Chains A and B, each alone.
Chain A
Amino acid sequence: MQHTDKNYEIQMNSINEKLIKMGSILEEQFNKALKVLSTRDENLANDIIDTDKQINDLNHDISDTVFQIIAMRQPMADDLRFLFCSIKIIRDLERIGDHLVTVAKKGYRINSSIPPEFIEKLEILGNKASVMTHDALNCLFERKLSQADKIAERDDIIDTLHGEFIKDVLSYMKQNDDYIPDSLSLIQISKGLERVGDRITNIMEEVHFLIEGKYSSE
């Protein structure tokens, strides 16, 4: 059911649309960042860095609109929960953007002599984080917790993969002093992707609150 006040309806919808926009930009950023890992394409990396500004702008834009609505409309019930949820998750989305910038900045400079299985493992990790982001945002837009449980499990898988990856890179590093800087970059990339999983877990908590009116841990 729509709000009787059309302008209110338009304001609320604009937040939803901007969140969708943020989500779709992030999805592209993921694709590009993973491509940077395999191609070491500097132009593409710069493109990611530029595009990140749009995410930051959307973050501020949404936050301004929420602020205005709270001041002018005194929202209640599901509207209030949606605004509260939005204001909290845009920070996480913006940070996911930052993690992908890290992947891009470090990624294009990795030496091509680094064993390809490291890159493959990062791609697997990155794909998992990307799908997780997509699914969490779907829960938000559809107001359904259908995939919520799986998302927490998937964060555990990402943590495990990240842990194993670090071990592998460390032992590689010990035997290949020449590649210490590259190995550190690999670790930072993996760390960035692992942090994405944590951000998504936060987001799912907020989406849970939006839908159920309480946090899943309560």
Chain B
Amino acid sequence: MVNIITTKNVNVHYGDKKAIDNISLNFLKNNVTALIGPSGCGKSTFLRCLNRMNDVIEICKIEGQICMNNIDIYSNEIEVEQLREKIGMVFQKPNPFPKSIYDNVAYGPRIHGFTDNKEELDEIVNTSLNKAGLFNEVKDRLDDLGTSLSGGQQQRLCIARAIAIKPEVILMDEPCSALDPIATSIIEELITELKKSYTIIIVTHSMQQAARVSDKTAFFHLGNLIEEGDTSKIFTKPDNQKTNDYITGRFG
């Protein structure tokens, strides 16, 4: 088992406000890691550090070390575009571009200059949609707008879009919070399938979802990492009382 992403003594401030307090947390390759914790504890902030999405927030200051495959992602040699090629992201609300289904998926490979060849592009679009479990539902309407799909389909389209650029890591911030139970279980099954090829880090408010899909779970509270470990242990016999109280619904 190797760590694909390692973080060490990470502190994040928004202006004077500390949002992440000295967190060191590593992520195993081809694992699903769930980040859980009460609202405002810093899950999204931490997740966004991993692909430098916080760079655009002016008041946001990040200290500490974050490495992917042993390379510091905040070092000068790293280009953010290249990093995002390796670390894709799926957001809480499905956010397809106002373009065709096909172009939503083809967009990334095009701008990253993977190929201009129509056949190769078709191939990438089809396999990405396939891996996202959407191909059969949309194969006859690839020219329709991505926004014309149902919420669950849109979210899978966003996953296909993330996969199309062949990332190594996929970050997901509450990817199912806008979905019904069936759409949710389709995404969850997909996550389990995707981890064969990718490393997934998922923020979720659903304890059951974290328990179902993740191998590792990390519990955040007030910007601190309280406990991390095997999901099967965290949800049955956590070491920390705070973890226990949170996952059993005693606060948060």
Interface residues of A (CB under 8 A from B): 1-5, 8, 73-81, 212-214
Q: What's the tally of chain B residues with a CB closer than 8 Å to chain A?
A: 17
Contact A76 B237 (CB under 8 A): no
* B196-219 contact mask (Cβ, 8 Å, vs A): 1 or 0: 000000000001100100000000
B250 at the interface (CB under 8 A from A): yes
* 24 pairs from A and B in contact (CB 8 Å cutoff): A1-B250, A1-B251, A2-B250, A3-B248, A3-B250, A4-B251, A4-B252, A5-B249, A8-B249, A75-B248, A76-B207, A76-B211, A76-B235, A76-B236, A76-B248, A77-B237, A77-B243, A77-B247, A78-B244, A78-B248, A80-B236, A81-B236, A81-B237, A213-B233
Q: B167 to chain A: which residues have CB within 8 Å?
A: none
**How far, in angstroms, from A77 to B36 measured CA to CA in the complex?**
15
Nearest chain-A residue to B245 (Cβ)?
A: A1
CA distance A76 to B207 in the complex (A): 9
Q: Which residues of B contact A79 (CB under 8 A)?
A: 248
Who on chain A is nearest to B244 by CB?
A77
Bound CA span A5–B251, Å:
9
Q: Are A213 and B249 in contact (CB under 8 A)?
A: no
Say whether B251 contacts A77, CB under 8 Å: no
Contacts of A77 in B (CB 8 A): 235-238, 243-244, 247-248
Interface string of B223-240 (1 = CB under 8 A from A): 000000000010111100
Contact pick for A4, options B236, B238, B250, CB 8 Å: B250
- Provide the residues of chain A in CB contact with B235, threshold 8 Å: 76-77, 80
What are the residues of chain A within 8 A of B208 when measuring CB–CB?
74
List residues of chain B with CB within 8 A of the CB of A80.
235-236
Docked CA distance A75–B249 (Å): 9
A76 contacts across to B, CB distance below 8 A: 207, 211, 235-236, 247-248
**B250 touching A74, Cβ below 8 Å:** no
The answer to whether A4 and B249 touch across the interface, beta carbons within 8 angstroms, is yes
Distance between Cα atoms of A106 and B235 in the complex (Å): 48
| Bound: A153/B236 CA distance, A | 29
**Closest CB-CB distance, B235 to chain A, in whole Å?**
5
How far, in Å, is A113 (CB) from chain B's closest CB?
57
Q: With a CB–CB cut-off of 8 A, which chain A residues contact B247?
A: 76-77
Closest B residue by C-beta to A212: B237
Question: Chain B: which residue is nearest A209 at the CB level?
Answer: B237
- The docked-state distance in angstroms from the alpha carbon of A73 to that of B207 is 11
Complex: chain B residue closest to A80, CB-CB: B236
Q: Taking each of B211, B238, B249, which has the highest tally of chain A beta carbons within 10 Å of its own beta carbon?
A: B249
Q: How far is the CA of A78 from the CA of B238 in the complex (A)?
A: 9
Q: How far is the CA of A24 from the CA of B251 in the complex (A)?
A: 33
Across the two chains, which residue of chain A brings its CB closest to B239? Answer: A213
Bound CA span A213–B236, Å: 7
* B208, B233, B236 interface centre (most CB from chain A within 10 Å): B236
Known: A4-B252, A75-B248, A214-B237. 15 other contacts (CB 8 A): A1-B251, A3-B250, A4-B249, A5-B249, A73-B249, A76-B207, A76-B247, A77-B237, A77-B238, A78-B248, A80-B235, A81-B236, A212-B237, A213-B233, A213-B237
